[in-house]
Structure 1
Amino acid sequence: MGEQMRESGIGQSAESAPAAADRRRWWQVDCRDLSNAHRNLAVLVDRDEVELVGPPGHAAVLSALGVRQLSTALRDAAMQARK
C-alpha cells in the first residue's frame, strides 16, 4: 500500500471537497518506520487543540507525498479546532 491519506472518522478524505474538513475530527496518514514497516500517523482534533499521534516507539518516515498529506491534515485540523 502506498503512502496515502485514508478516510477516517467523519467526512471524506482531506483531498475531497472543502466541506469535508468542516465535519472531520481525525485523519490518518500512512508512513513507514526506520525499518520500513508500515505505520500510521494520526491527526486528531480535541476541542480547540490538534494532536499529532505517531507510531508508538517508532519514528515516522514520510515521502514527499506523505508530507503534503500531513500538511493538508494539519491545516484542516487547525481550521476545525478554531470552530
Structure 2
Amino acid sequence: MVWRVQCGDLISRERCVTVYVDDGEVVLVGPPGETARLSVGQLGQLRAALNEAAELAGRRR
C-alpha cells in the first residue's frame, strides 16, 4: 500500500510526499531535492497516512 499526499515546494510547484511500508518499517519519501510545503489540510492527510502505515507496519512484524 502506498499513500501519496499532494504538497508544494518553496516556489509553489505541485509535488507530493509518499508514504509506504517496507519490511515492517514506514518509509517517508519527500520530493527529490526539494522542500515539501504542506497546508493544514495536507498535513492532516500526511498524519493519517503515517498512522495507517504505522498500523500496517506493526502487523507485519
Q: TM-score, normalised by structure 2?
A: 0.94
Amino acid at match of 1:48: G
Match of 1:76 in 2: 52
Query: Which of 42, 47, 56 in structure 1 is aligned with 2:32?
Result: 56
Compute the displacement of 1:47 (Å). 1.9
Deviations 1:21-73 (A, max 9, x none): xxxx2100000000100001000100210000000010000000000000000
* Structure with higher strand content: 2
For the residues of structure 2 that align with 1:64 and 1:43, how far apart are their CA atoms?
18
Stretches of structure 2 that go unaligned for 5 or more consecutive residues are none
Secondary structure of the residue that 1:34 maps to in structure 2?
coil
**Residue 41 of structure 1: SS of its match in structure 2?**
strand
- Report the RMSD for the aligned CA atoms in angstroms: 0.5
Higher RCO (CA-CA < 8 Å; seq separation 6+): 2
1:37 aligns with 2:9: no
Give SS of 1:82's match. Answer: helix
Report percent identity of matched pairs.
Answer: 46
Number of aligned pairs? 59
Could you say what secondary structure the match of 1:44 adopts? strand
Higher share of residues assigned helix: 2
- TM-score for both structures, normalised by structure 1: 0.70
What stretches of structure 1 of length at least 5 have no aligned partner? 1-24
